[in-house]
Structure 1
Amino acid sequence: MKVKCILCEKLETIDDDSIVAKRLRNRPIHTYMCDECHDRITRKTNERLRLKKITDEDENSL
């Protein structure tokens, strides 16, 4: 199955029998995101949460 990442628009081919392909076929609202974009978003989200936690701890110590 050919898919396109919603963020970078990179075209990829995934196995027709994979769970991701099944979800995309059965639920059109689901979108595909390549591994690189998924990892980048995960990393940035974790960094943002870590910074928020540090900021919250600093405010609580005042």
Structure 2
Amino acid sequence: MRVKCVICDTLHELPNDLPLAKKLRNRPIHTFMCTECSERISENTHTRIATGKFRFFRTSSKFDEEF
């Protein structure tokens, strides 16, 4: 199955028997993000959290203070 990353628009080939390929086929609302983009986003998020100015807006303030 050919898929396109939503961030970098590169084409990737997924084996048809992967659960991710089945999820993308059956539920078109789900999107695919390549591993390079997901790693880059997670690294940037961790560096923003390390600065101490990052706030979680969907959680309680008690969780933010513990984090």
| Structure 2 counterparts to residues 1-62 of structure 1, below 5 A | 1-52=1-52
**Alignment coverage as a number of residue pairs:** 53
Question: Greater helix percent: which structure?
Answer: 1
Q: How high is the TM-score relative to the length of structure 1?
A: 0.79
Quick one: percent identity of the two aligned structures? 49
* Matched residue SS, 1:32: coil
Distance between the aligned counterparts of 1:19 and 1:47, measured in 2? 31
RMSD: 1.1
- Unaligned runs of 5+ residues in structure 2 are 54-67
Q: How high is the TM-score relative to the length of structure 2?
A: 0.73
Runs of 4+ aligned structure 1 residues displaced above 3 Å come to none
> Per chain length, whose mean CA-contact separation is higher, i.e. which structure has more relative contact order (CA < 8 Å, sep 6+)?
1
What do residues 2-54 of structure 1 show as CA deviations (whole Å, max 9, x unaligned)?
0000000000100111111011012111000011001000100111111126x
Q: Higher Cα Rg: structure 1 or 2?
A: 1
